Amino acid sequence: MLGRDKINKLITKEHKLLVVLCISVLLAIFVLKWTNEDDPIYKPLIQDMRLVDSVTIADVLDQEHIHYYADVKNHMLYVNREQSELARVSLAKIGIVIEYPEVTKHSDLNKAYDEFIKQKKLEEETGKIWQKPWFFKLVKLIMGALVIIVLILAVVRPALAAIINDEDGKEL
């Protein structure tokens, strides 16, 4: 009889440890998935679609596989923030330079591309760090790491210690 009681105690102790560890791993996986999800954040590319050839612009964006959507009510075109530079370069190749909110159409493609490069260098020099596309991903990753650390220190460690100490106390 005593052998079975010890086996039952060991099984329940192992089950408790397994349940705590499984819940902790599932929560950690959820946090990691949350930090790595990429919801597209759209940025205005053209403020007034009535001033440009929207069909040409849509064709260029489709050819480059750039995600965009048009707000017909407000006459605005939005592109994925991560692809906004590619969109601007692609449009500069066909002679449309976008200096938000203004759109300039150049007949000379070299002049259009030079204008775009000048704008790009100016943005890089004056851009704030929290406006960079990688900054929000870094913040989410740091927040996820902090949640996992707090989970380990505040939940898993005390739960495991309580389960182990509880079972050891009963055996004595």
| pLDDT tens track, the chain, 172 positions | 556 666 666 667 777 777 877 888 888 788 778 777 766 778 888 777 776 777 888 888 888 888 888 888 888 888 887 788 788 888 877 877 776 555 566 666 677 777 777 777 777 677 677 777 678 778 888 888 888 888 888 877 887 787 777 766 555 4
Task: Report the Cα–Cα distance between both ends of the chain, in Å, rounded.
Answer: 17
Structure tokens at 16: 């408790």
Give CA–CA dist 59/55, Å, rounded.
Answer: 6
Question: Could you check whether the bond before residue 158 is cis, i.e. omega within 30 degrees of 0?
Answer: no
What phi-psi label fits residue 85: left (phi over 0), alpha (psi between -120 and 50 degrees) or beta?
alpha
* 1: β partners: none
